[in-house]
Structure 1
Amino acid sequence: MTSATPYAGRIAFVTGAARGFGKAFSEALSGSGAHVVMTDRDADALQAAAAEIRARGGRVSALTCDVSDEGDVAAAMEAVRRDHGGLDILINNAGLHSEEYNTTMANTGIAGLRRLFDVNVMGVIICTLAAAPLMAGREGASIVNISSTAAYPVPTAYGVSKLAVRGLTTAFARELGGSGVRVNAIAPGLIMTDTIRAELSPQTVAYVQAQQVLGREGVPQDIVNAMLYLTSPAASFVTGETLKVGGGFTLGMG
């Protein structure tokens, strides 16, 4: 990419970047000229993903970080401040989303619910509050949270956690708007990443695809395209919104 791209010279921070959406976001942003700080709990997978992107010419660094740990996040943001002077883009992507949490509150249990909400909800809060001072006043500063179309029918513990992410998106949009930071979310439908193929049962996949209006499978590039829109100048007057990208799965669900 040339220096004329809107991402040239920008600093992005992507959580859950070792695989799935996080890795795809990191590839897209670095390929468009940004320097991407990739973070994940899985140090080995993170370093492998970062090395793969660097081998293709992307500018990335890798920091091991648990988004539910305030100390980890504070240290990571301090590294961003020290090395880059500020932050332009935060992608709150890290989250738990396996079949273990795609069930009722009672089935998930208190320990499971604490872990789920620590990562999916508190992780967004911790990272956003830590990043906000580094983003304040920077032209085009943008936060993108990852919710889910499961936050619309909300029949599961996972769906409730992602409903909370929608709420956090509107709350932080109001809270940070005065400093020029836009906050939006993406609600992916069933997107067939390697992780989803491994974790979801064929019955769950078939159920969701049967509810879609569009017949094709969702692919990671669909979510990458939404992220690139929301972090670009094309969305400079968009904040507090959750963009559903699910082939029409939620039509009629609110």
Structure 2
Amino acid sequence: MNGTVASTGDRAGSVAVVTGGGRGFGKSFGEALAAEGAHAVLVDRDGAEAEAAAAAIRAAGGSATGYAGDVTDEARMAAIMAEAAAAQGGIDLLINNAGLHSDEYSQPIAAMGVAKVRRLFDVNVMGTVIATLAAKPYMAGRAGANIVNISSSAAHMGGTAYGTSKLAVAGLTITFARELAPEGIRVNAISPGLILTDTIRNELPEATKVRVKAMQYLDAFGEEADIVEAMLFLSSARARFVTGETLRVTGGMAAGI
């Protein structure tokens, strides 16, 4: 995050909860939202990372708090949402970003085994359900309230349990868009393609990066900022008539009807 955060930005007075907020996309989402004046509530299994990310936002002049919480823990998520809403006056935005996504979860289902597949779906799918239901009472009726889920280009390409879990997230986006519309809550999702986060830069073999880029229409690598910008659009008043949609940010890799 660059510079000092003003309290008069486009999101001044709003409250944004980001799961998986201690690192990666989640941390960047929190920084970007705080830069526009929102109070960022960062939730992560690693409470120390969540608090460190929140502290960095505060040091830059923004407003943020960090919480330790696993999205599969229904009671803990309910408690976090209640506490954050009580402290800040409600919740305006929920970003369901927490998820399992390493190579470990992109293996054949038979090789992964039932326990690992169950854990994958507990976090990626049920975690989205649990966090959404926990936040709903504090979002209902608030002008501009909305939810952004994080799916994946793997959802549109098939072939892995991880991709199937993210396809379920895209499906939940449609379901919750319908169910929460009477409460005035929009629900959308983002499907990132190959994005050169620090982890991907360091861990993904160069040959794999080149192979995936060759599947895209655009001859460029995606950057974390591309996903942040998509989030800022979908969660803003500029997207007031957009709900139930999954925005593919893939350079064309996952394009299709």
TM-score tier, shorter chain, comes to over 0.9
Question: Any unmatched runs of 5+ in structure 2?
Answer: none
- Measured after TM superposition, the shift of residue 122 of structure 1 is 0.4
Partners of 1:199 and 1:208 in 2: how far apart?
15
1:20-40 C-alpha deviation (Å, 9 max, x unpaired): 100000000001000011110
Contact 1:6 1:233 in 2 (8 A): no
Matches within 5 A, 1:224-243: 224-243=228-247
TM-score by length of 1: 0.96
Amino acid at match of 2:240: S
The equivalent of 1:210 in structure 2 is: 214
- Measured after TM superposition, the shift of residue 147 of structure 1 is 0.2
Match of 1:125 among 112, 129, 134: 129
Q: How many residues align?
A: 253
Match of 1:191 among 186, 195, 198: 195
- Measured after TM superposition, the shift of residue 197 of structure 1 is 3.0
The equivalent of 1:66 in structure 2 is: 70
Partners of 2:63 and 2:42 in 1: how far apart?
10
- Measured after TM superposition, the shift of residue 203 of structure 1 is 4.1
Matches within 5 A, 1:160-175: 160-175=164-179
Deviates more, 1:234-243 or 1:5-14: 5-14
Percent identity for Structure 1 against Structure 2 = 58
Partners of 1:116 and 1:194 in 2: how far apart?
23
Larger RCO, structures 1/2 (Cα 8 Å, 6+ apart): 1
Matches within 5 A, 1:29-178: 29-178=33-182
- Measured after TM superposition, the shift of residue 215 of structure 1 is 1.3
TM-score by length of 2: 0.94
Amino acid at match of 2:75: G
Q: Secondary structure at the match of 1:178?
A: helix
Q: Secondary structure at the match of 1:160?
A: helix
Contact 1:37 1:62 in 2 (8 A): yes
Partners of 1:201 and 1:33 in 2: how far apart?
38
1:105-146 C-alpha deviation (Å, 9 max, x unpaired): 212211110110111000000000111111000000010000
- Measured after TM superposition, the shift of residue 206 of structure 1 is 2.8
The equivalent of 2:183 in structure 1 is: 179
Question: Any unmatched runs of 5+ in structure 1?
Answer: none
Q: Secondary structure at the match of 1:145?
A: strand
Q: Secondary structure at the match of 2:183?
A: coil
Deviates more, 1:203-212 or 1:66-75: 203-212
Contact 1:99 1:200 in 2 (8 A): no
- Measured after TM superposition, the shift of residue 204 of structure 1 is 3.3
Confirm or deny that 1:250 pairs with 2:245: no
- Measured after TM superposition, the shift of residue 84 of structure 1 is 1.6
The equivalent of 1:21 in structure 2 is: 25
Partners of 1:65 and 1:227 in 2: how far apart?
22
Contact 2:9 2:35 in 1 (8 A): no
1:68-114 C-alpha deviation (Å, 9 max, x unpaired): 11111011011112212210000000000000111222122111101
